[in-house]
Structure 1
Amino acid sequence: MADKDKLTYWELRAVRNEQKAHDDANRKVELITRAYLRSQSYLNQQVSNIYKRYFDNGNYTAAQAEEIMNTVVSPTELVTLRALAKNITDSQSKKQVADYLSTLAAKGRITRLEELRAKSYIVVKQAASVEVEHSTGLYTKVIQDAWNQAAAEKIIGDVTKDVQLYEKGYVAELDKTKRQIRIADPETGKKITTVNAVPEKKVTEFKQLSTRYVQKALDERWHGKNYSQRIWDNTDKLADRLQELFTAQQMSGMSEHDMAQAIEKEFGAGIYNAKRLIRTEANYFHNKTKLDSWKKRNVQEYQLVAVLDKRTSQICRRMDGKVFKVDDAEVGTDYPPFHPNCRTVSVIHFANSSYTGTRNANNPNTGKKFKISQDATYRDWERMINE
C-alpha cells in the first residue's frame, strides 16, 4: 500500500476508511472461522466414534461396511438430531434443517449412515447461521459508516477547497455541535486550524438516511444474488461434499486419519469461501454505499487507487489512477470491487483540486521506499521499480 503519511487528503480518507471496513471484516472472520471449526470438531468426533467401534481393525470390506452403516438406529436419535439443530437462529438455515429432518422422519427408519449425514448437514447449517448473523451485523455497520463518510467528504471538500493542509496526512474531523472542521496532526493530535462547515443537510441526519437505506442495500442482488443467498449456496455445497465422504465404500477404504484429513480439507475450503465472501461483500457495501451517497450529493467524479504491490490484480493495475463520472459508475466494470478480495479503493475527485502531492511506494526489488507523484499510476510505479 502507498505510504499513508504521503497520501493526499481524499486518498488518505479512502484508505483509512477502507482499512477500517477491512479490519471490521477480519474481526467477524475470526468469529465465523470458530463456528466452522466447532462444526468440524463435532463431526470429527462423531466419525471417530464410528471408526473406533466398527472399522478400527481396517479389515472390513465395502459390503461389510455397507451392512454396518445401513443398520437402523433407535428412533430417539431423531430427537437428538432436532436438539442438535436448536441453536440455529437464521430463519432460512432453520427452515432447511427442519425440511431435511422432516423428510428423514417420513421414512420411518433411520440408518446409521443417514444419521451421520444428517449430523454433517446440521453442523454445516449451524456454521451458516453464525455466518449470516455476523455478516448482517457487519454489513449494516459498513453501510452506515460509508454513508456518513461519503456525506462528510462532500462537506469537507466543499468548505476546504482553498486550504492546503494534506501533504503530511493531516486529519480532518467534523465537529457536529459547532458545525466546524477541525484539522489536526495525526501524530500529535495538535490542532492546526478549524474551518466553518455549512452542510447541505444537518450532520445528525446522516445516520437516519443510512438507516432507511440499509435494508434495501442488504437485500439488493449483485451478480444475481445477495450475500445471504451466497452463504446458503456455499454451505449447501459444503454439506454435499461432506455427505459424499460418508458412504460405505469411502469409509471402508479410508482410515480414520484419512477421513479426518478429508473432513478438514472440506471445512478448510468452506472457511476460505466464507473469508473471501465476507471481505468481498464488505468491500462491495462500502463502495456501493459511497457511490449512492455521492450521487445524492451531486459529486461529479471519482478516482481509483490501487495497492502498489505485486499481489495487485491485472485489472486493478490497469484501473489505478483513472477518473470516472459518478453517474456512469458500474460495480465490477469501472468501480470496485472488480473481483473477489479486491483491494482497490474509490476516492472522491474534485476537478482542479489543490490536494495534490506525493505518496511513498515500496520497491519490492530493493526493499526501499521512494516518492512517486500523486498522479502516477500502477504502470508508472512498475516501470520505476524495473529501471
Structure 2
Amino acid sequence: MLICGHKPQEGKCRSGSYGIREKFYAENSELVKAIVNQSWTAGADFSRRIWKNTDKLSDYLNTDIAQAFARGDSYDRIARQMKLRFNNVCRNDMYRLIYTEGTYVMAEASIRPFVEDFEKYKISTVGDGKVCRICRGAARQVCDIKDRSPGVNFPPFHAWCRCTFTIEVDDWDKWMNDYENRHKSNTERAQSIKDAMARQK
C-alpha cells in the first residue's frame, strides 16, 4: 500500500499546502495529544495497517511524536529526534511516517467539531492528475462520520496520502431546522455553517 518515489521535501511542501502546519498543532495541542494517544494506546490498528509497526515504534508514536505534534515542532525537528531513536531508519522513511501521522492527526482533529451536528462526509482528493489508484477508488465515497476508520474509509489511506473530506448534507433546509430545534434560537450560527459549507463546493 505504500507509495514510493515521493521525496521528503515534497512531503514537507504538501504539509504546508494542505494546512498541516506547526501553528495548527500548537493551537490545538490538547486535542492533538488526545487523538494520538487514543489512537496508539487503543491497539494501534491504524499503525499496523499502514506501517506493520513493532511495539517499539508504537511506543515512540505514543510519546515522542505525540508530544512533538502538540508542541508544534517542525517536521525537520521531529525527523532529527526520530533519527536518534531509530538509527537504522532512512530519512525518507522518517518523513513518510511523520507526514502520514500528521495527516492522520489533522484529518481527525478537523472532523471532530462536526461529530455532534453532522452525520456524513465525502472523501475528497487533490485534483492534480497525480491521484493514486487507492485514492481514486475512495474518491467521492459518502460515509457515516461515526463509522470513520483511518486507512479504511477515512484519510490517510496510505503513506503520503493527500486525501481530505467534505461534510455531506442532502437537505440543508431540513438540517437547519433540526439544528435550530436542538440549539433553540441559534439561527445565525446555523446559517454561517451552511454558508461555509457552500463555499467548499
TM range, normalised to the smaller chain?
0.5 to 0.7
Residue in structure 1 matching 2:158, options 339, 345, 349: 339
8 Å Cα contact 2:82-2:94 kept in structure 1: no
Residue 102 of structure 2 corresponds to 282
Q: Distance in 1 between matches of 2:129 and 2:94?
A: 24
Partner of 1:312, secondary structure, is: coil
* In 2: Cα distance, 1:235 partner to 1:313 partner: 33
Alignment partners' CA distance in 1, 2:160 and 2:144 = 24
Please point out which of 113, 119, 141 is paired with 1:322.
141
Aligned residues: 134
- When the two structures are superposed, what TM-score results if normalisation uses the length of structure 2? 0.53
Matches within 5 A, 1:1-387: 19-21=18-20, 24=21, 138=22, 141-143=23-25, 210=28, 212-220=30-38, 221=40, 222=44, 223=47, 225=58, 226=61, 228=64, 236-237=85-86, 239=87, 241=88, 270-295=90-115, 297-353=116-172
Shift in CA distance, 212/356, structure 1 to aligned 2, threshold 3 Å: closer
- TM-score, reference length from structure 1: 0.29
| Alpha-carbon shift at residue 318 of structure 1 (Å) | 0.7
Following superposition, the deviation at residue 333 of structure 1 comes to 0.5
Give distance in 2, aligned partners of 1:322 and 1:314.
14
**Secondary structure of the corresponding residue to residue 303 of structure 1:** strand
State percent identity of aligned pairs. 18
Structure 2 portions without partners, runs of 5+:
1-15, 49-57, 67-78, 173-193
Structure 2 vs 1, CA of residues 314 and 346 (structure 1 numbering), >3 Å: closer, same or farther? same
1:183-209 residue CA offsets vs partner (Å, 9 max, x unmatched): xxxxxxxxxxxxxxxxxxxxxxxxxxx
Per the TM alignment, residue 288 of structure 1 is displaced from its structure 2 partner at its CA by 1.0
Structure of higher RCO (CA pairs closer than 8 Å, 6+ residues apart):
1
Change over 3 Å in CA distance of 1:212–1:308 after alignment to 2: closer
- C-alpha separation between the residues in 1 aligned to 2:17 and 2:139? 16
Deviation at 1:301, TM superposition (A): 0.8
Deviation at 1:344, TM superposition (A): 0.7
Pairwise CA distance, 1:294: 1.9
Report the CA distance between 1:270 and its aligned residue.
Answer: 2.4
Q: Partners of 2:17 and 2:170 in 1: how far apart?
A: 23
Residues 144 and 303 of structure 1: CA distance in aligned 2, closer, same or farther (over 3 Å): farther
* Root-mean-square deviation over aligned CA pairs: 3.7
Alignment CA distance shift 1:212-1:320 (3 Å): same
- Tell whether the 8 Å contact from 2:32 to 2:109 is kept in structure 1 after alignment: no
Task: Compute the displacement of 1:271 (Å).
Answer: 2.0
Structure showing greater radius of gyration is: 1
3-state SS of 1:340 partner: coil
Cα 1:218/1:292, change in 2 over 3 Å:
same
Taking the aligned partners of 2:169 and 2:102, their CA distance within structure 1 comes to: 26
* Contact map agreement 2:121 2:166 (CA 8 A) in 1: yes
Change beyond 3 A, Cα 1:278–1:322? same
Aligned partner letter, 2:112: D
- Write the letter of the residue equivalent to 1:214: V
Give, as a single letter, the amino acid of the residue that structure 2 aligns with 1:219.
N
Give the residue type in structure 1 aligned to 2:24.
Answer: V
The secondary structure found in structure 1 opposite 2:162 is coil
